[in-house]
A and B are shown apart, each in its own frame.
Chain A
Amino acid sequence: MKQKGVFFIAIVAALLLCTGCEKVVEFDIGETDRDVVVNSLPCTDSMLFVNLTYTRFFLDNREFLPVTNADVSVEVNGVMHTFSSREGANYLFNYLCTEGDTLTVHVNVEGKNEIVGGTRVPALPAIDSLSMILDTTMPFLNSGEVSFLLSDNATQSNYYYIFITERDSGSRWNEWYHKFDTIDTVYNAYINCMDLSITSSSVNSSEGILGYFNTLLFTDSLINGEEHKISMSIIIPKDTAEHPLQRDYTLVIESLSREAYLYRRAILQATSMSQYFAEPAEIYTNLGRGNLGIFAAIAKRVYPITFIYKETEK
């Protein structure tokens, strides 16, 4: 009886303590004016395009509406190029960026101020001695390692972004999607990137390394002017009926402009665990105060990687 009494008191106390009252708040400020968002990451391996969409109210679930009536031009090394065609929100240009190009985008939408942003295409990353090792001796798992030498150019500031995607029937994997979805649904592989030589890893350092979401994002401050070995390990579950004996991946090594680096860093910060304890902040933009989006160049190298392993006992 006494035990029941204690139990009853405990339940009442717990209920009172844990009565978290949640209610949906009526948001009464109304929708704000939609702003134009300029997104463009001019890249050395694809034709230049600028994506223009409108922002949406934060309680709105609809897709981002494309801006269809914009006047968009890009100045390349002092020469003005206007867009050749538009597909939805993408304004396409007949231009392929090359290393060292200086680009400035001009976007004019009726009723809005002109949006201007500039970037410079960085040098392609200098890569050598790419190699792969696959260890199939471990129980339940296969372990792969990809390594290469990265030669940093000491005469300039360099920013790097490295990741591995899985290829599937020739279609390109969405970068965000594949990086997060690592369990069962698409492919059952964990991709851990780690630089064995650099121990410092930080989301907040302006010069350090970011290691979140199976990517490496870092500046050259720690390897300035040196040839450095980067290793990335891949752990793959042993084969099942759902997974083939051959794994096809793509290693992407990007050299980023400073703008692209700050943009990617801000996104990683905003979506990292530490964000739950941090004051939220606006994502970096180089389009002027009050504007949203990014115009930042990337120089990219892409390497296909295939792991073929023997079927092992299950």
Chain B
Amino acid sequence: MSFRKKGTLIFILLFVVCEIAKGQSHTISGIVIDSTNGETLIGATVMDLKSGKGTLTNDQGRFSLTLKGNSAVVRVSYVGYTSVIDSISLKSNVTKRYVLKSSVQLNTVIVRGQRVDDARSSQLSAVQIPIEKIRSVPVLFGEADLVKALQLLPGVQSGSEGNSGFYVRGGGPDENLFLLDGVPLYNVSHMGGFFSAFNTDAVKGVTLYKGSFPARFSGRLSSVLDVTTNNGNDKELHGNVSIGFISAKLNLEGPVITERTTFNISARRTYADFLLQPLVRRLANRNEYKLSAGYYFYDLNGKLTHRFSDRSRLFASHYMGSDVVYARIRTMTTDVQDQFLNFNTRWGNIVSSVRWNYELTPKLFMNVTGAYTRYSNNVGVAYETMAYSESTDTTTFDMDYLSTINDFTIRTDFDFTPNPEHCMKFGLSYIHHIFNPEVSQAHLNSQMSANFLIDTSVNSGTTLAEEFTAYIEDDWSVNNVVKVNYGVNVSGFWVDGTFYPTLQPRLSGRVMLGEGLSLKAGYAYMTQFMHLLSTTSVSMPTDLWVPVTENIAPMYSHQMAAGVFYEWDKVGDFTIEGYYKKMSNLLEYKDGASFWGSSENWQEKVVLGDGWAYGVELLYQKNIGNLTGWIGYTWSKSMRLFNREGQELNNGEAFPAKYDRRHDISIVISYRITDNIDVSATWVFSSGNAATLSMQEYAIAQETADDYAGIDPEGWGGYLSSYGSRNNFRMPNYHRMDISMNLHRNFKKCSRTINISVYNLYNRKNPYMIYESHEHTYGGYNSALVQLSIFPILPSVAYTLKF
């Protein structure tokens, strides 16, 4: 789109803003909260039954409804809560505080609220899953996992077995914006990707946008995962403790000052390193050799909320999570010397933010956020010889590999609701990025050779970057049939003296075709100023987040989507959506290049190219009743083309993306048998992943005829592999069934839940990776294609105590 056209679009937007500001009427504004814990309810419907006008509560649980006339009858409803009906006299602006009671608690009929993904919303390509649903999905080791639950949705693919990698509509794992209370999180994986960094105990709501992104979101091409955390109970102290197969968790929430200040703390840590320590000692330790090794991850979420008034709230939240791998080997080789080898790898995030939420006027809310984000990974190896004699040397050698990103963010967002037809959002943000993508340090000190000292630091240099964003969007109910969400996001990235400005128009709309039936379509232009350099499908500490540079241009995408949505009460919601996405300036390592074995600047190792993806997604959801769940199916194709001069991959020809999979099916079912027992089951099927395997082998060129005679054509170095093209091989199909059962029991002051789950119920040996094996035998070589599967049938038990 030319700048002239973009300028016209901005002009039209401003014109619309002016027009809608002309309305004269009275405004009902306020907040909707949960009666049990004082938590704000996001996405609750506030509707005037007289006029039929309505609105939704925003991310802070606030609403603003401007109406004409002298009175209104407002109904406030939310999924799982009993609705409230309130008659209001409209002589002036009114502020309200609606407290909804859980309908499950009262054993009454569940009332449907409006979600971002329902038929009446202008938003498409978005999904909201209640956190209770996520907790009930059976998963690996019984560890409830937000990202893995989302992987069961159409259009979202996992990487390899058990991995919490996220591939949305043909995009890469780095093209997803993970927001924790509005602040970006870089590394969302634990344990190489087997678990995500989101502790479900701390999470309040989750919305995933796969396309048709509203203008307030920017910075990634393929998806936005918006996670909000619990504020904490404002009435009394509550908590839960749980012990699972792999981790232990603690969650505490309560008031510091009743109904004023609340806190919420959630902590999780794996304990396999404690359990396996005796085994490691027994198996590895000998007189001359001692080993201490382990792995653990932890995360900690903390949030403090203070309510100055119903118009003003302050939130301070902190998240920190890390993975740690350690090994210490002591070798007593001689009487005079001991050798120590220490290996320590640590990677993770820290996110701290302070947010002030203030109602400037009944129609205008403001949210100011200051945040600090740090992502770091550190691989350290230290070797030490301890001399017990003068004739031996005491030497220390240590090597460190460090990569960090530090972000300082200041952001202001406004919600402006001039009348029920318009709901506007606009805001500004500024992020100061400090990138240290690769720092390698080595120190060598020898006691006997004092002059033999190495102290070196090699790095790609610190890169400072400034990111600016301004946006405006309007959700406009044109009439009862047509609703449009239109907006523009203006972003800029300043790095190394180069400025990349972008203007990203967004548009989506729906047309009601009948009761509960709508047609939606949308377009989004997205830009991304950061890349993740990764060579494996497993989330590794060696993955590098790097910024765009003078030579590496920003990635951008155009995505178009359209779909039909149908809500059939009691039966469920049906959605069918198609999409086409074109991506440019995608980054890949050069042929044969990786993070390993080179002191070269990362920019020298990568090439830029393009990609496209298209597909169809079907989703049936049932959220009401004892039997709930969803069935999803995706047909998709994702391709890559790297054919720019000097940057060719695959001979400049198109090839399937690494996680190009034609079919994905997921079935998720939960059934509440009694108040004390519920069961869940999932079944997933997906076409095999693409992999690059050699189809043929051939001889290596030799300089003389005699050289050919001495070669072992089957041995190492005796042949070359011909791969034909990238991702030329398809692994076997993947399918798996998991089941779980929750046994609840209530006591006087607490309740307990025992979760029994089985991962991979029918013990399917799914492919994790496939490799060629050439085993040397006395008779020659045995060659075979070997499939490695990592998770057989895995039963697990978790115990949770709530008080």
Contact = CB atoms under 8 A, between A and B. Distances in A.
A123 interface: no
B541 to A, nearest CB: 13
Interface of B: 272, 275-279, 282, 535-536, 542, 588-600, 604-605, 649, 651, 692-708, 710-711, 713-714, 716-724, 726, 732, 765, 767, 770, 772, 780-790, 792, 794
Centre residue among B590, B701, B704 by max chain A CB count within 10 A: B701
Interface string A263-287: 1001101111111111111110000
Nearest to B590: A204
B533 to A, nearest CB: 11
A90 B788 contact: no
A196 B54 CA distance: 76
B691 to A, nearest CB: 10
20 contacts: A13-B275, A13-B276, A32-B696, A51-B701, A51-B708, A53-B698, A55-B722, A57-B696, A89-B699, A176-B700, A202-B604, A267-B700, A270-B720, A272-B592, A273-B597, A274-B593, A277-B535, A278-B591, A279-B591, A279-B692
B789 A21 contact: yes
Contacts of B697: 55-58, 60
A278 B783 contact: no
A16 B790 CA distance: 10
A225 interface: no
A280 B723 CA distance: 8
Interface string A51-94: 10101111111011000000000000000000000011110100
A49 interface: yes
CB-CB nearest 6 A-B residue pairs: A281-B591, A269-B592, A39-B701, A277-B594, A274-B597, A176-B717
Interface string A6-47: 110111011011011111110100001011010111010010
A20 B595 contact: no
A59 B701 CA distance: 21
A162 interface: no
A136 to B, nearest CB: 19
Nearest to A295: B701
Contact of B592 (A49, A58, A203): A203
A103 interface: no
A314 interface: no
Given A35-B696, A58-B783, A263-B701, A25 B600 contact: no
Contacts of A61: 714, 780-783
B775 to A, nearest CB: 10
Nearest to A6: B278
B599 A14 contact: no
B695 A32 contact: yes
Contacts of B604: 202, 204-205
A310 interface: no
Interface of A: 3, 6-7, 9-11, 13-14, 16-17, 19-25, 27, 32, 34-35, 37, 39-41, 43, 46, 49, 51, 53, 55-61, 63-64, 87-90, 92, 172, 174-177, 180, 200-205, 208, 263, 266-267, 269-283, 289, 292-294, 296, 298, 300
Nearest to B705: A90
Contact of B698 (A21, A22, A64, A275): A64
Contacts of B785: 24-25, 27, 59
B787 A25 contact: yes
Nearest to A268: B592
Contacts of A7: 278-279, 282
A204 B598 contact: yes
A202 B458 CA distance: 14
B718 A176 contact: yes
A20 B788 contact: yes
Contact of B723 (A269, A278, A282): A282
Contacts of A59: 772, 783-785
A251 to B, nearest CB: 15
B532 to A, nearest CB: 15
A217 B588 CA distance: 25
Contacts of A280: 692, 694, 721, 723
A58 B276 CA distance: 41
Contacts of A296: 701
Contacts of B277: 10
Contacts of B708: 51, 88-90
Nearest to A26: B785
Contacts of A3: 278
A195 to B, nearest CB: 15
A39 B702 contact: yes
A58 B772 contact: yes
Contacts of B704: 43, 46, 172
A279 B535 contact: yes
B172 to A, nearest CB: 14
B698 A277 contact: no
Contact of B535 (A269, A278, A294): A278
A278 B592 contact: yes
Nearest to B785: A25
A204 B600 contact: yes
A296 B701 CA distance: 10
Contacts of A11: 279
A278 B651 CA distance: 17
Contact of B594 (A35, A175, A270, A274): A274
A21 B769 CA distance: 11
Contacts of B699: 37, 39, 51, 53, 64, 89
B589 to A, nearest CB: 6
B583 to A, nearest CB: 18
Given A6-B278, A25-B770, A61-B783, A202 B599 contact: yes
B278 A283 contact: no
A267 B787 CA distance: 26
Contacts of A32: 695-696
Contact of A40 (B592, B701, B786, B790): B701
A172 B536 CA distance: 41
B694 A174 contact: no
A139 B101 CA distance: 84
B598 A274 contact: yes
Contact of A23 (B700, B721, B787): B787
A35 B720 CA distance: 13
A242 to B, nearest CB: 21
B698 A13 contact: no
Given A58-B772, A280-B692, A266 B592 contact: yes
